[in-house]
Structure 1
């Protein structure tokens, strides 16, 4: 595996784990494949390249509307989702100083509404910076949903944009990742 987080896909049959809003998953299984579909939500894919463990979360909102303390069951909020993911990785042998992150999502799918996606993306970047976890790749913003695949044991991530026209449910090749150039494979 290279420093940018690329790795070969695992051999064997991938064991898919679909991570939906408000969920997270962690694994050291070389055959694990985590997937999610994102619009304005953000997913952080965090990996420890030495321990060979990784995980993904999927959060809906950066923070509670009134700034109130988030209850433990409220994984839909970014702060809690990030902490739970990092703690889960550390339980599998990851070390905080070796963690690397890739971020996806944060799209603005509809005009005329608050840009929740931008707020989510900004929160995720700020959180990881505050925690000292480098972002090795990111594909944030834009106007389309994304389908993301993440191999937690290797840190390899792939994405493709989803066409939202209900008349033509096709998948289109995504443009180059926004802001960061390394570590995301488009499919």
Structure 2
């Protein structure tokens, strides 16, 4: 089967910390998701692997979604499947955000963001790509640290106590919010 790539920019409002939190949870849920798809009408089979990045500009959050697709090149079908997937991921993100636990808030200027070795990466820490240092592999290859103490924020105990910890930059603060672990993803269904 042929392998091809496609991508989308999906915009979310980002006027409040809650809106940014929701968008970051959507990114976390879709990044790394893989689906096997069979089109009902044509019987065409696809394997779709998503990766995601993000950016924030003028109160708008942009989810930069990329898909590596194994199967016939049918951008319309993959686009339709992706739209359905995003809708379902958005619903799951809303449910997770509804169960959030605020952990701490620090001024952005009291934090530094550093690349970390692979054995110190934490997949359960979600930090927006735009805070990553230039030498970091996103989304997991960097962490936030307290400038004064040099200690990671949040620490490993806080990360271990939650399914995910989301770093939400808003105005001049970074809010750290715990959410439950996401459910395992099943295929959202066949697309026609």
> If the length of structure 1 is used for normalisation, what is the TM-score?
0.31
Q: Larger C-alpha radius of gyration, 1 or 2?
A: 2
More helix by share: 2
> If the length of structure 2 is used for normalisation, what is the TM-score?
0.31
